[in-house]
Amino acid sequence: MTPGRTFPHVALSAHAHNRQGLLRTDDAWLDRRWDDPGTRVLVVAGSRIRPVDGQVVWVAPSEAPEEGTRVLLGERAGRTWFALIVDPARAPGEREEWVGLRALLPTLADGDDQAPLLLHAIGLAEWHFATRFCPRCAGPLEARAAGHELACTSCGRQQFPRTDPAVIMAITHGEQGAAEEAILLGRQRVWPAGRWSTLAGFCEPGETLEDAVRREVAEEVGVEVGEVVYFGNQPWPLPASLMLGFVGRAITRDLDVDGAEIEEARWFTRDELRAGIEAGEVLIPRSVSISSSLIEHWYGGPLPGGW
């Protein structure tokens, strides 16, 4: 990344908390922290949360529902932080009051220092939601280690939270920094008109991250990529990914879009990208995502607009 510059996606991982992994099996310590009125709890219904006036609400343990799975997030700023995962059917309030994490990304982009706690909570909630039965014997699972482990009550097999590596890349072509240098952006079929972003995809077994970049670009838009340089990473629990950012240099420029994952792809020069955004014809990712940081890194500064 550019020396001395902090990119917007870092807001989601700044202010990291002490996860206190060694205390997750200390039931006496966990009970003491839960009984502390200074402890704060995020109530999660399935994998959704209930904001008030657009803000994430943390409550004292005494204000949290009595039933649910307690998840230790850790300690920060002199407090202990938990999440409580409850059955959506028993969650307080109206169903439409509970929203997914994406609805709160604009708030997190403003530098919310609780973002890492929120991402930790939602990541584990998504895992609990998706991991209902033992993959070996289909037996019921029981939460242990303060929500960070699931154990089969039939065969004893343990399950641990998954994080899937996904590459996301700014692919460029042309002399670096020159007026004709262009960045490759794509759009998915389900997106609204005018929405564009960097390409991305999951790393496959036995594959290096750099080769995953090359393969995904070749498969999706038919462009051959040579040099690939690491940019940065971002946790993205939607549902369980670690986005690994790269900058790649294209060897070829002709496009052959697959039409499946990507509906359309296009090369943008800096002037074309700025003009499209200012005209309202091009929408790029909002500042909190690493995709936005990759685009701004190539462009040389912040860009208007976003989604």
Contact 184, 171 (CB under 8 A): yes
Q: Residue 99: what pLDDT?
A: 94
**Measured distance CA(71)–CA(145) in Å, rounded:** 8
Model confidence at 304, pLDDT cuts 50, 70, 90, reads confident
Q: Which residues of 204-238 are buried (b: 16+ CB within 10 A; e: fewer)?
A: eeeeeebebbbbbbeebbebebeebeebbbbbbbb
| Neighbour count for residue 282 (Cβ, 10 Å) | 21
Closest by Cα among 271, 281, 202 to 239: 202
φ, ψ for residue 50, nearest 5 deg:
-120, 90
Closest by Cα among 95, 258, 292 to 189: 258
Q: Residue 109: what pLDDT?
A: 62
**pLDDT tens, 250-291?**
999 999 998 888 999 999 999 999 999 999 999 998 768 899
pLDDT of 17 over the 90 cut: yes
Residue range 175-199: mean pLDDT, rounded: 94
- Cβ-proximal residues to 58 (8 Å cutoff; 6+ apart), any chain: 40, 41, 42, 81, 114
**pLDDT tens, 96-116?**
999 998 888 777 765 567 889
pTM of the entire structure?
Answer: 0.88
**Measured distance CA(150)–CA(140) in Å, rounded:** 10
φ, ψ for residue 172, nearest 5 deg:
-125, 160
- The 3-state DSSP class for residue 109 equals helix
CA distances from 3 to 7, 260, 283 (A): 11, 38, 27
Model confidence at 2, pLDDT cuts 50, 70, 90, reads low
The letter for the amino acid at 141 is L
Closest by Cα among 258, 256, 246 to 198: 246
Q: Residue 5: what pLDDT?
A: 61
Share of the chain above pLDDT 70, in %: 95
Q: Any idea what the Cα angle at residue 159 is, between residues 156 and 161, rounded to 5°?
A: 165
| Token representation of residue 53 | 């006036």
Model confidence at 57, pLDDT cuts 50, 70, 90, reads very high
The letter for the amino acid at 80 is T
The length of the chain, given as a count of residues: 307
pLDDT of 301 over the 90 cut: no
Residue range 185-197: mean pLDDT, rounded: 94
Q: Residue 230: what pLDDT?
A: 97
Share of the chain above pLDDT 90, in %: 77
Residue range 135-142: mean pLDDT, rounded: 96
Q: Residue 108: what pLDDT?
A: 73
- Cβ-proximal residues to 79 (8 Å cutoff; 6+ apart), any chain: 38, 39, 40
pLDDT of 34 over the 70 cut: yes
Q: Which domains does the chain have, with CATH numbers?
A: 8-130 (3.90.79), 164-299 (3.90.79.10)
For residue 234, the cross-strand partners are 243
